[in-house]
Amino acid sequence: MTRPVSSLNVLVTGAGGGMCVGINARLAAAGHTVLCADLNLAAAEAAAERITAAGGRALPFELNVSSDESVAALHAAVSEQVGPIQALVNAAGILDRKYLQDHDTASFQFALDINLTGPFRLIREFGPELVEQGWGRIINISSIAGVTGYHYPSYAASKAGLSNLTRSLLVDFWGTGVTVNSICPGVVDTAMVIQEVRDQVKKKVPTEQIVTPEEIGALAAFLLTDDARSINGADLLIDGGATQVFSLFDR
Ligand SMILES: NC(=O)c1ccc[n+]([C@@H]2O[C@H](COP(=O)([O-])OP(=O)(O)OC[C@H]3O[C@@H](n4cnc5c(N)ncnc54)[C@H](O)[C@@H]3O)[C@@H](O)[C@H]2O)c1
């Protein structure tokens, strides 16, 4: 199955965030229309403006991934303004820096609701139109924390769940032309990362470099090509080798 159109409509959640600076830019540079959705509408608008200022195509949308109603409203708005999407990048996420005993049930569930149930809501909502077109790409931005574990349990559990959701959806999208993959970044050069961690990364990662948002964007852009058609159900580690050589745990 080959890509139905050369310029795709790509919905990116969390598009106003740090990593999406690179994701949005690389997707737009590949000729795609980037639908920038974020809880923070001003950030989504700024992201879309950055793309259009650079000569690309983008539109901003407000979205709360933890609300069924908001996801349905986004779908209605996107359908009306743009038409069907061909690709979905689930990048909205939060990192709650709490150890087990600092969490109450509500705060733990809040993290899961955004990082895990959020992508589920988006895939359930937009998956059918990908299937109808006989081609589609779903990319979940997970984390190496979901592979190795991490001292912030709500984050690690939500990302492990997201990676396993990715694998599990192979059945739902079997034979449809839609692939589902997770990108698992290591530490990426964004505001989510504190200086102490950046310093550690430079000492401990084999590449001696922090991953850039543009590298994540380049991988996402590749996954939207026909050359990536056999990459399906994968956890794509992009971490400079960190997963192999150091622990994310701080004790
Ligand atoms: N920065 C890293 O080192 C790193 C590493 C691995 C994985 N990740 C993952 O990459 C993704 C992007 O991270 P980032 O560094 O850009 O973080 P960020 O905090 O800069 O961006 C996250 C974006 O998600 C949005 N968001 C939060 N809650 C939302 C909700 N309920 N509905 C819609 N949007 C919401 C925020 O407004 C923000 O714009 C996240 O899923 C994160 O877990 C980041």
Query: In this structure, are strands 235-238 and 136-141 parallel, antiparallel, or unpaired?
Result: unpaired
Structure tokens at 132: 């109808």
Structure tokens at 66: 């933890």
Query: Does 91 sit in the ligand 1 pocket, CB within 6 Å?
Result: yes
What does the pLDDT read at residue 5? Answer: 77
Q: Is the Cβ–Cβ distance between 210 and 202 less than 8 Å? A: yes
Question: What ligand 1 atom has the least distance to the C-alpha of 142?
Answer: 7
Give the bridge partners for 236, in sequence order.
183
Backbone angles phi, psi at 173, to 5 degrees: -105, 15
Burial class (CB in 10 A: 0-12, 13-18, 19+), 110: middle
Query: Does 90 sit in the ligand 1 pocket, CB within 6 Å?
Result: no
What does the pLDDT read at residue 45? Answer: 98
Distance 114 CA to ligand 1 centre (A): 10
- Residues designated as active site: 155
Burial class (CB in 10 A: 0-12, 13-18, 19+), 208: exposed
Terminal Cα-to-Cα distance of the chain (whole angstroms): 48
Query: Which residues in the chain come in under a pLDDT of 70?
Result: 250-251
What does the pLDDT read at residue 112? Answer: 98
Domains delineated in the chain: 9-241 (3.40.50.720)
Distance 1 CA to ligand 1 centre (A): 32
Separation of alpha carbons 88 and 118, rounded Å: 12
